[in-house]
Structure 1
Amino acid sequence: MISLYRKGNKWTKQKRRIVIITVILVLFSVLTLVTSRSASNIEIIFKDTIANLEYYIIKAPIQYVTGLFEEYNDLKDVYEENAKLKEQLDNLARESAMNEVLTNELNDLKEIMDIDHLPTEYQVKYTNVIARDAQNWNNQVTINLGKLSGVQEGMAVVNAQGMIGTVTNVSEISSTVSLLSSESAKSQLPVMILSGEEQYYGLLNHYDINTHKYSITLLSDVEKIEKDAKVVTSGLGGVGKSPKGILIGTVESYTSGDDATESVCDVTPSVDFNSLNDVAVVQRVNEQ
């Protein structure tokens, strides 16, 4: 009897072990199936709800506040720009009024002195650049005005920024303009440097394609020239040449020599020679 009881007890323990192992295997299989299957509709709705709550409670307020700061900064920039524009308009109104007064005074003086025209008076004939050879990009352009429009060799050609060159060849309906950026310029352009209350005269010799600067030789002894002093045409080139007062550029540096001919200015051009489209031929009033 004892032997049979021991055998029955041993058999019961083995069955328990088998049941436990079976349950573990079933649970493992169920977990594997749940984790590997696609999410149910309820789970998808739950995830979307959490994502929406995260956006509207956290992200949206942060974006709103950030947007307010950006709009404030934009409005601040617009306000500052408007203030500058208003100041410029006020200055323009004052300068226009002063220009009208000076023009009237100038006309009165011309009448008293029996002078018809001044060196700074000129008219312009507007035109366009119609050709620019890649091989001569820095040397010349072609414009669509010629002899029929009264264009002559030696006349200055300008754009809104200043002088770009001079007319060197004229046909009936077009002209070739030699640019001031040409390294092979054959003539020197008479210029005037306005440094403070002083005026100095010189000759524009050439353009350095590497530094993008003009080289100007002074014609008189000069001790000092202010940086950023304006350089304009002097009007001393003779009949048919550039009138007085056309902007050339600003002084970058000045090197004094033992005499006037060794004193040189490096000048930054006022013109962007890479962008030449709308231009004008300049004609002195007293040479029409």
Structure 2
Amino acid sequence: MLFRYIVNKYVLGFVALVVLALILISYTGRDRANLTPVERIIKNVVTPVEQGVTTVVEGLRDTFGSVFTIGQIRNENEDLKRQVAVLESENIQLKEYEYQNLRFREMLNFKDTLSADYDTLSASVVARNPSNWFKTVTINKGESDGVRKDMAVVTSKGLIGHVINVSGNSAEVLLIIDNSSAVGGLVQVTRTPGVVEGMADNSGYLKMNYLPKEANVREKQLVISSGLGGIFPKGLPIGRITEVEIESNGLVKYAIVRPFADFNRLEEVLVVREVFGEDILTPSGGGE
């Protein structure tokens, strides 16, 4: 311990002398052309030490500068990530507004085409029955808006169902794809009547029953509501025939109908509150 103290003491003293010598050389050498032999010796001894110290100091400066730069870059990177997340969220919202605007425009155009013959009310789907037994949706319009039980409900694509329960500000709609639903249907081009029902296999397709065996019913023909039964007005588009078969009893035929409406994407609908005319809707695509 004592030896280390003595060594440190002499080392510190030596360093102090070297520093003092350098100061004196620098100060006194300003007015002289050449250094003295002693000064040259000290200079030669001290120069490598100076270079080593300079290298260490510059290395430490570069290291601390790099650490500071890395930290700054990391902070800027986090800020950029937050800005990107905000922009992505805003972009998603703008896209949703754009899609919603397109749906509203399509619905308003359809509402305008109905205005001469139907009194309709716009509504939004706010809930869906998750049960496999009953296919219903809830809309945000009810008795206070003039909605009544058994009113037909449509989208711009076609018929989707009718109101079965009404409260003050909402109503429940039974979809035509529910197997308990039945709609009086009509093959538009041949005027062949039948009953359109939901299928129990949850396929989303419809079955048009009780078609006469000799009826000229074929694939791709359009089916509209017949107006029979007192619930659904005549002429509402229902769907297109995809298949025609004879019943097992051999007496009548049935047709499988693909509905025009997409029941997995119901968002905006129209409630038909009053009918002024009949058989006035003609689905796009004609009779064949």
Describe the superposition over 1:238-284 as per-residue Cα deviations: whole angstroms up to 9, x where unpaired: 2xx11111111000111234889731110011111110001110123
Query: What amino acid sits opposite 1:253 in the alignment?
Result: E
Cα distance, 1:227 vs. partner?
A: 1.3
Structure 1 distance, partners of 2:192, 2:264, is 29
Structure 2 distance, partners of 1:211, 1:171, is 31
Superposition CA RMSD, Å:
2.7
- Checking the alignment, whether the CA contact within 8 Å between 1:214 and 1:266 is kept in structure 2 is yes
Q: Which residue of 2 aligns with 1:5?
A: none
Q: Which residue of 1 aligns with 2:205?
A: 213
Structure 2 distance, partners of 1:210, 1:133, is 14
Counterpart among 143, 146, 151 of residue 150 in structure 1: 146
Structure 1 distance, partners of 2:137, 2:131, is 11
Change (3 A) 1:130 1:212: closer
Cα distance, 1:121 vs. partner?
A: 2.9
TM-score by length of 1: 0.51
Q: For residues 39-188 of structure 1, what are the structure 2 equivalents within 5 Å?
A: 121-135=117-131, 139-183=135-179, 185=180, 187-188=181-182
1:193 paired to 2:187: yes
Query: What amino acid sits opposite 2:166 in the alignment?
Result: V
**Which sections of structure 1, spanning at least 5 residues, go unmatched?**
1-119
Structure 2 distance, partners of 1:211, 1:161, is 19
Describe the superposition over 1:24-59 as per-residue Cα deviations: whole angstroms up to 9, x where unpaired: xxxxxxxxxxxxxxxxxxxxxxxxxxxxxxxxxxxx
Counterpart among 276, 284, 288 of residue 274 in structure 2: 284
Partner of 2:160, secondary structure, is strand
Query: What amino acid sits opposite 1:233 in the alignment?
Result: S
Counterpart among 261, 274, 283 of residue 264 in structure 2: 274
Counterpart among 230, 239, 245 of residue 249 in structure 1: 239
**Which sections of structure 2, spanning at least 5 residues, go unmatched?**
1-115, 278-288
Q: Which residue of 1 aligns with 2:223?
A: 231
Change (3 A) 1:279 1:233: same
Describe the superposition over 1:126-166 as per-residue Cα deviations: whole angstroms up to 9, x where unpaired: 01011113335970110011112221111111111111111
Question: Which of structures 1 and 2 has the bigger CA Rg?
Answer: 2
Change (3 A) 1:222 1:171: farther
Change (3 A) 1:261 1:216: farther
Cα distance, 1:211 vs. partner?
A: 3.8
Describe the superposition over 1:211-239 as per-residue Cα deviations: whole angstroms up to 9, x where unpaired: 4321111354534312111111111122x
Partner of 1:148, secondary structure, is helix
- Checking the alignment, whether the CA contact within 8 Å between 1:181 and 1:209 is kept in structure 2 is no
Q: How many residues align?
A: 163
- Checking the alignment, whether the CA contact within 8 Å between 1:128 and 1:277 is kept in structure 2 is yes
Identity of aligned residues (%): 32
Query: What amino acid sits opposite 1:176 in the alignment?
Result: E
Structure 2 distance, partners of 1:205, 1:139, is 13
Change (3 A) 1:122 1:220: farther
TM-score by length of 2: 0.51
